Copies of this chain bind each other. A is one copy, B any other.
Amino acid sequence: MKELLISLQPDEGPALYEQIYQTLRNEIEGGRIPCGERLPSTRLMAKNLSVSRSTVELAYDQLTSEGYIEPKAGSGFFVCDLSNLYTLPAPRETKEREPETDGQAKTLPFDFSPYDIDAEHFPFQIWKKINKEVLVDEELLSSGDSLGDIRFRRILCDYLYHARNVDCTPEQMIIGAGNEYLLLILMQLFGNLGRVAMERPTYMKAYQVLDQTGVELVTVSMDEDGICVEELERTGANLVYVMPSHQFPLGTVMPLRRRQELLAWAGKGEDRYIIEDDHDSEFRYIGKPIPALQSRDADGRVIYLGTFSKSISPSLRMSYMVLPPKLAKRYQEKLGFYSSTVAATQQRLVCRFMEEGHFERHLNRMRGVYKAKRDFLLHLLKGKKWIHTILGDNAGLHLVIELNTALTEQELLEKAEKKGIRLYGTNDYFTEGDSCFSHVTILLGYGGLALDAMEEGIRRLDLLLTEPDANARSVI
């Protein structure tokens, strides 16, 4: 090959071998050392550059690994054919970043989100203390059980038995990174086949997740007791997704008789199962919590889903699923290869939070906090002419309000946004057919709002809904 000038800078910049590598690479890429050319032997190159032979060997090795040169037995290193070389990426420096919207809606001061929780009363000091202690267990950095930490699953089983009458063993339980993930793997357990029925209206994220898996989705109307079982029977569905303790968004509590009908429906087919999403059953303000549907299931037909999103934090990304024994066995055989989706330290953190009684104390405290918020919101709404009905006020973190207004849902949401209020409509929850409401209906979440923000938000909403164009209907 023709003479090659490599000027090394021994005292600065990258390692010597890398300087050699970089120079040769640039020459090859630039076509200045053509394809098929033989490079100087490592011995010769080392002598020319006054470096050790191993330094040159390292540079040649790197070039070989990356495919710039190739060794031929006994005759040295030759430059490869790079004629198909794709364009190199443009240097980073010249690249402008896109504006980062990420599809996130902008923050508003009065956000009545039904998904937000109260962060103010969280026992941070205790949480931090345990968090610090669990990190001492170095074991947790290198191991992880695919179903979830066994110690965690044990305490969770005990909790579910006492709080929800859910009867299960740790072997039936899977800890996962959110209900959405758990629904995904549940659908895989059923082979992404079959027909799944959901309530109309239902929880949209669950609908979207199931829709993506390729299963056939149908929705079934609800009456005041919950999903209509006769209609469900007619759909030919073999899976049904329900929220018996506190339906989202309606707030309906399914009474015992309807639960029995639903279980009887499941009992009629070998492959029929009920997915019970018990998302916010921790917060019930009148009477004690209603036992989970799973507790009445003697036949292994209920798949129970629960989450820490409302009881601890939505950003914790931690949920759990209890499978009937038969499905738990099928899971181990078919999907047992899946790794856990929750960090081992996070599981141990919540485990100890429960073991030491903090979780129960936290829930008791939060029941009081949320009840006070709910009572205050109901107080603020009292006597407002634009309220037709208030539903679902016994439990959860939001009210369902049917409104007397001449505005459409869309108009109302837009007008409210201009006043700094974020409202949540219900039209989107009806994926098929018309809304079951005769009036414009919104969800008013109170979990994340401070009392003064709630008061100001309702004051603004009141002004908006008593404007002449908004209350036309109630005037007529």
Contacts and interface: CB of A to CB of B under 8 A. Distances in A.
Task: Give the dominant DSSP class at A's interface.
Answer: loop
A84 interface: yes
A315 B345 contact: yes
Residue of A124, A170, A212, A225 with highest tally of chain B CB at under 10 A: A212
A7 interface: no
Nearest to A336: B103
Contacts of A313: 141-142
A72 interface: no
Interface in A208-262: 208-209, 212-214, 225, 253-261
Interface stretch (A269-277, A296-304, A416-424): A296-304
Interface residues of A, number: 115
B343 A315 contact: yes
Contact of A339 (B132, B205, B394): B205
A195 to B, nearest CB: 16
Contacts of A305: none
Given A66-B290, A98-B171, A317-B342, A104 B145 contact: yes
Copies of this chain assembled into the complex: 2
B341 A181 contact: yes
B61 A287 contact: yes
A9 interface: no
A64 B255 CA distance: 7
Nearest to A207: B337
A18 interface: yes
A44 interface: no
Given A18-B288, A188-B212, A82 B343 contact: no
B98 A169 contact: yes
B97 A169 contact: yes
Interface of A: 17-18, 21, 58-59, 61-62, 64-68, 70, 80-82, 84-90, 92, 95, 97-98, 100, 102-104, 116-117, 119, 122, 124, 127-128, 131-132, 135, 138, 140-147, 150, 161, 165, 167, 169-171, 177-178, 180-181, 184, 188, 192, 204-205, 208-209, 212-214, 225, 253-261, 263-264, 286-288, 290-291, 295-299, 313-318, 332, 334-346, 394, 448
